[in-house]
Chains A and B, each alone.
Chain A
């Protein structure tokens, strides 16, 4: 408890340090924040090791209910993940401040954002949870709106994010308050003890309210529309935290919902799984066709959260019939959440470094960065390989576990579950393919080949701290990818907060063995195999001798074997994704505009061709725009009753007062 108080106190101190003079501000705040993150990590590791919640209560800070801290192993897993991601983001920030985020407001918001992210999983009752949740939402909103004075897109992003996060928070508050009203006190422990007394319909309504609220935070389709806007517009350290830590808390919320309400009927989890599948497919499809690097990463976040929710859903509906697969699916989704946090923050920090060096996010304007920014490029490549779930990186073992749990759960399932599971597996397969396309594009177009613009050509490697930040998370991706067993015991303990572990799974340093479910994977062996194969190829090439080397001709990487005379001969991000876009034309409904101007003298001479291709979000266009248009129409109509007359306004109040009195009496 005192450790949590220390964490919160240091966080507030960091926020106050933001008022220091400009010259030392960011260094000072970052130093204190590193202390906050270290304390958070130590507390979380302590809870995971002793496998016992850390609880405490104080009434001095908040009247009536006080603050209630209860850091379970499940919460500790999320706090620990956040601490690692925030550590990398803070280090990155020290260099990034020369580009943006050096103001008092941004520093203060960043400090409070990190602190609240670390503390939300430690909340032990409704009030504490909602207070911390709101601090997190508001400080992150301030960071999303960081460039509001510079770009209209940033203002738009802030509006969308604000509306989504507040709408979600309203639903979460509603759900939790209904639960709290039926429990003897608002602590999560007593809610969990009393929730099964609730009528079925109420439980279902609460589940849906909480699921939708938390899904909006996790960026599930169709509540994902804030994600590509906010992640793209926020400064890099903030977007790394949004994607690497904050969306995780949406997942934490869904797991918490299950802890509070119990597993519940199968249809709950079929609904959850449905939205997971939609998010995974939609996110990966848009990631594959986006040309803005940060939008691409944001859509990929939506995709990954969809996969995590598929795992959680599988854990829910296998629970009754197949407890081993249920436990495995839960563990798998927690592994995927932590893996995602590491690789996605690597990628966002890398994208921030690219933006720092080139002032450009559009892949069509990048290229050739592997030569000019080698360290950043290596980190981004590791992140991209990991998100594409290629062995031996951490994304691979995570997705492998999700697939295993689905496949094994099929045995002995009822028809509905069987069909759903088959659909889930198919969705996972398609998502995997689309994700690979997206990241081959991101790395191939953005970092290999030749520079497509002046800025990209003159890019220089970023300052040391900005190389260390993504370096930390990239290293973690490799280490936990090669030796996934390192994290498994911690994650298993975290999952036991939700339901006892029946998976029978064991881990060695090198890999997982699924026990009764029969399945094993050794990423370490795969990694050694890959290294060995590379060595063999290298040795073969050497053995061909100088004669062979003389015939060796070198081509531009990513140049398709042609000799490139101009950077414009290369594939661009748009052209690379074009075949895919054509296949999914009906879903994406991209808008093309081709404008050919002829010379005045003759129509046979074309003077200018203008081609505009906009690939905006189809959910936003088809679902949210009509709703917004309706709201605007309603607002305009409502102006008729507010004509500016003071007397009329008073009369409204008067009539309502008299009517209320008459009704009450």
Chain B
């Protein structure tokens, strides 16, 4: 029982730490790598829950998560990064030390805000719900504080991963049809954003605030 709880806690912490790493690193390749690691940790969380509940369908969901969030989406993003080798998040709107402090505060806020859910769910899974919420908030903060268009996409995916983590922990695994639907939605969104990113890069935009010149 404790092994399961420890393993689950480790996987969930990796998900949140992955989000913090995205805030910390400058190189876009590292950011995408952190996202991929986070996807693996999410799949591991689902697999652990599947093993614990003896639920084969949930195991299929874990495989799906692994395929989409650890392989396909990071793969798509890596191809964007490869188009501009050595690209960096050079001049974030909020610098890295300040961002890390904000991430800490957001995690604190997540723990405070999630208290009712923790009380409701209870047990080893319930205690981890604040980590999912913290991932959501940090992902949102990435979108606000980072200039690169690619960082925005990664921020959105962090939000999605955080929501997925909360969903796994609260419901002990979501039905496969729901997970399939949301994964496909995200995949579709990433494909669209990838095309958009390629077009933006081709047009000479990489900083989203340059788009302000389109404002009337």
CB contact list, A55-82 vs B, under 8 A: none
B212 touches A665 (CB 8 A): no
Selected interface stretch from A204-212, A280-288, A524-532, A641-649 = A641-649
Q: Chain B, 145-170, contact with A by CB distance < 8 Å: what is the 0/1 string?
A: 10100001000000000000000000
Instruction: Tell whether A647 pairs with B209 under 8 Å between CB atoms, given A654-B141, A658-B109, A658-B137.
Output: yes
CA distance in complex: A645, B145 (Å): 12
Residues of A with C-beta under 8 A to B93: 647
Report the minimal beta-carbon distance from A581 to chain B, rounded to whole angstroms. Answer: 45
Residues of B with C-beta under 8 A to A658: 106, 109, 137
Report the minimal beta-carbon distance from B80 to chain A, rounded to whole angstroms. Answer: 18
A665 touches B112 (CB 8 A): yes
Report the minimal beta-carbon distance from A641 to chain B, rounded to whole angstroms. Answer: 12
B211 touches A646 (CB 8 A): yes
At the interface, yes or no: A661 with Cβ under 8 Å from chain B? yes
Residues of B with C-beta under 8 A to A654: 140-141, 143-144
Residues of A with C-beta under 8 A to B106: 658
Number of interface residues of B (CB under 8 A): 24
CA distance in complex: A645, B137 (Å): 20
At the interface, yes or no: B178 with Cβ under 8 Å from chain A? no
Residue of A nearest to B155 (CB): A650
CA distance in complex: A658, B116 (Å): 16
Report the minimal beta-carbon distance from A278 to chain B, rounded to whole angstroms. Answer: 43
CB contact list, A246-292 vs B, under 8 A: none
Residue of B nearest to A644 (CB): B215
Instruction: Tell whether A665 pairs with B144 under 8 Å between CB atoms, given A647-B208, A658-B106, A658-B137.
Output: no
At the interface, yes or no: B56 with Cβ under 8 Å from chain A? no
CB contact list, A619-665 vs B, under 8 A: 643-647, 650-651, 653-654, 657-658, 661-662, 664-665
A662 touches B209 (CB 8 A): no
CA distance in complex: A54, B213 (Å): 63
A645 touches B109 (CB 8 A): no
Q: Chain A interface residue count: which class?
A: 10 to 19
At the interface, yes or no: B54 with Cβ under 8 Å from chain A? no
Residues of B with C-beta under 8 A to A645: 209, 212
Instruction: Tell whether A661 pairs with B214 under 8 Å between CB atoms, given A647-B209, A654-B140.
Output: no
CA distance in complex: A641, B186 (Å): 30
At the interface, yes or no: B115 with Cβ under 8 Å from chain A? yes
B115 touches A665 (CB 8 A): yes
Report the minimal beta-carbon distance from A60 to chain B, rounded to whole angstroms. Answer: 26
B137 touches A644 (CB 8 A): no
Residue of A nearest to B212 (CB): A644
Residue of A nearest to B213 (CB): A644
B137 touches A646 (CB 8 A): no
Residue of A nearest to B106 (CB): A658
Residues of B with C-beta under 8 A to A657: 137, 140
CA distance in complex: A646, B137 (Å): 18
Indicate which residue in A643, A646, A665 contacts B208 across the interface (CB closer than 8 Å). Answer: A646
At the interface, yes or no: B67 with Cβ under 8 Å from chain A? no
CA distance in complex: A646, B215 (Å): 11
CA distance in complex: A647, B92 (Å): 11
A662 touches B113 (CB 8 A): yes
CA distance in complex: A645, B212 (Å): 5
CA distance in complex: A232, B208 (Å): 50
CB contact list, B91-130 vs A, under 8 A: 93, 106, 109-110, 112-116
Residues of A with C-beta under 8 A to B140: 650, 653-654, 657
CA distance in complex: A315, B109 (Å): 61
Residue of A nearest to B141 (CB): A654
Report the minimal beta-carbon distance from B196 to chain A, rounded to whole angstroms. Answer: 12
Report the minimal beta-carbon distance from B48 to chain A, rounded to whole angstroms. Answer: 27
Residue of B nearest to A660 (CB): B113
B215 touches A643 (CB 8 A): yes
Report the minimal beta-carbon distance from B109 to chain A, rounded to whole angstroms. Answer: 6
Indicate which residue in A646, A653, A661, A664 contacts B152 across the interface (CB closer than 8 Å). Answer: A646
Instruction: Tell whether A661 pairs with B143 under 8 Å between CB atoms, given A644-B211, A645-B209, A646-B208.
Output: no
Q: Chain A, 160-202, contact with B by CB distance < 8 Å: what is the 0/1 string?
A: 0000000000000000000000000000000000000000000
Residues of A with C-beta under 8 A to B213: 644
A661 touches B144 (CB 8 A): no
Report the minimal beta-carbon distance from A529 to chain B, rounded to whole angstroms. Answer: 72
Indicate which residue in B110, B114, B116, B209 contacts A646 across the interface (CB closer than 8 Å). Answer: B209
Report the minimal beta-carbon distance from A657 to chain B, rounded to whole angstroms. Answer: 7
Residue of A nearest to B137 (CB): A658
A650 touches B115 (CB 8 A): no
Instruction: Tell whether A650 pairs with B212 under 8 Å between CB atoms, given A662-B113, A664-B113.
Output: no
A647 touches B113 (CB 8 A): no
A651 touches B144 (CB 8 A): yes
Instruction: Tell whether A662 pairs with B144 under 8 Å between CB atoms, given A644-B211, A644-B214, A645-B212.
Output: no
CA distance in complex: A151, B209 (Å): 42
Instruction: Tell whether A650 pairs with B109 under 8 Å between CB atoms, given A643-B215, A644-B211, A658-B137.
Output: no
Report the minimal beta-carbon distance from A649 to chain B, rounded to whole angstroms. Answer: 9
CA distance in complex: A643, B216 (Å): 9
A661 touches B215 (CB 8 A): no
Report the minimal beta-carbon distance from B91 to chain A, rounded to whole angstroms. Answer: 13
CA distance in complex: A662, B109 (Å): 7
Residues of A with C-beta under 8 A to B208: 646-647
Instruction: Tell whether A665 pairs with B211 under 8 Å between CB atoms, given A650-B143, A654-B140, A654-B144.
Output: no
Report the minimal beta-carbon distance from A198 to chain B, rounded to whole angstroms. Answer: 33
CA distance in complex: A651, B137 (Å): 12
CA distance in complex: A657, B162 (Å): 15
Report the minimal beta-carbon distance from A639 to chain B, rounded to whole angstroms. Answer: 9
CA distance in complex: A345, B87 (Å): 73
Residue of A nearest to B93 (CB): A647
CA distance in complex: A662, B112 (Å): 8
Residues of B with C-beta under 8 A to A665: 112-116
A-B residue pairs in contact (CB < 8 Å), sample of 23: A643-B212, A643-B215, A644-B211, A644-B212, A644-B213, A645-B212, A646-B152, A646-B211, A647-B147, A647-B208, A647-B209, A650-B140, A650-B144, A651-B144, A657-B137, A657-B140, A658-B106, A658-B137, A661-B109, A661-B113, A662-B113, A665-B113, A665-B116
Name the 9 nearest CB pairs between A and B, nearest first: A644-B215, A661-B113, A644-B212, A665-B113, A650-B144, A651-B144, A646-B208, A654-B140, A650-B143
Known: A650-B143, A658-B109; 14 extra A-B contacts, CB below 8 A, are A644-B211, A646-B152, A646-B211, A647-B143, A647-B208, A653-B140, A654-B141, A654-B143, A657-B140, A658-B106, A661-B113, A662-B109, A665-B112, A665-B114
